[in-house]
Amino acid sequence: MARTIAIRVVLGLLTLLGVSILIFAATEILPGDVATAVLGQGATPDTVRVFREELGLDRPAYIRYLEWLGGAVQGDFGVALTNKRDIVKTMSPKLFNTLFLAGYAALIAVPLAVGLGILAAIKEGKWIDRTANIVSLAAISMPEFFLGYLFIFFFAVQNRWFPSLATVYSSMPLDKRIYVVAMPAVCLTLLVTAHMLRMTRSSVLAIMSQPYIEMAFLKGLSRARVIFVHALPNAAGPIITVVALNLAYLIVGVVVIESVFVYPGIGQFMVDGVSKRDLPVVQACGLVFAAAFVILNTVADVLSILVNPRLRKPR
């Protein structure tokens, strides 16, 4: 089992390495010249040349990638092109804001989705099951930005229950921060709850067709007892995987929600970097998002191995 877990961890690191190459290459092949975009069209050729040398753009791409990767491994992403500030120091409070928003949404979404998914499986075919399927399908089909603007229109403009902009600062009290971030958190909750609910229900119902489950029913056990005692432990692997994927989405997929609510997180920071053609900022944010996604997927793989005896021995 330790060997299998070690293989999954190594595969996760190799995946992150491959993603770092793609991130760096994608920003390198963008059309236009970075120095000209930052300095403006009025910059003289000599100024552009000096600025390119200062950025190291006159050196081969593979050398710049190795230097960037070496710095990233040590927690150094360099400085932003637009304001010359250290990226890590600038990004740290924004990353905290994003993690706070993701954690806020996860605390609501995970127990709600798993609980409703199990309830839908217990009441298969009943009105609770049908209602959960209809609502979850509607939530999955709705674009993020559209749901966000609906929230702003109804809860901020029409009723003035919540502020339309989720503006937070470092010294803000926790209760006020929870209130200000409520709308984007609930918006994210609705988006990820649907996926987790449907996967929980499907995983439990798939186990329900197994012979040992039928034997449990023949012994006279109730449907709820069969699900909680016999089916749910064996369905834990897929549920853990989908929960981890949606937790990754809460971190990686906040770009749209943060832009809609003008929330000062890492997603908004990345959007600003793209608009200003600040490539070091875009590369740093992209690598942080990729690391969060890969780490959570690796954790999901390891937990799936630990809770499922059939996965402890590789074939």
End-to-end CA gap in the chain: 12
| CA gap 192, 222 in Å, rounded | 30
Instruction: Extract the tokens encoding 249.
Output: 């989405």
Token pair 């930005």 is found at: 145
| CA gap 306, 143 in Å, rounded | 36
The 3 state secondary structure assigned to 235-273 is CHHHHHHHHHHHHHHHHHCHHHHHHHHCCCCHHHHHHHH
Following DSSP, what letter does each residue of 161-174 receive, concatenated?
A: SS-SS----TT--H
Contacts of 306 (CB under 8 A, 6+ apart): 1, 312
Q: Which segments of 86-208 are extended strands (E)?
A: none
pLDDT at 293: 83
| CA gap 202, 223 in Å, rounded | 16
| CA gap 264, 64 in Å, rounded | 30
Tens place of pLDDT per residue across the chain (315 aa): 677 778 878 888 888 888 888 888 887 776 666 666 666 666 667 776 776 777 666 677 788 888 888 888 888 887 887 777 888 888 888 888 888 888 888 888 888 888 888 788 777 778 877 887 788 777 777 777 888 888 888 888 888 888 888 888 777 888 888 888 888 888 888 878 887 888 788 877 777 777 777 777 777 777 777 777 777 777 777 777 778 777 877 777 778 888 888 888 888 888 888 877 778 888 888 888 888 888 888 887 777 777 665 555 555
This prediction has a pTM of: 0.78
Which phi and psi angles does 86 have, rounded to 5°? Answer: -65, 125
Query: Using alpha carbons only, what angle is made at residue 21 by residues 17 and 22, rounded to the nearest 5 degrees?
Result: 115
Contact 208, 271 (CB under 8 A): no
pLDDT at 37: 62
Query: Which residues make beta-bridge pairs with 86?
Result: 79
Q: Calculate helix-pair angle for 254-261, 144-151, nearest 10 degrees.
A: 30
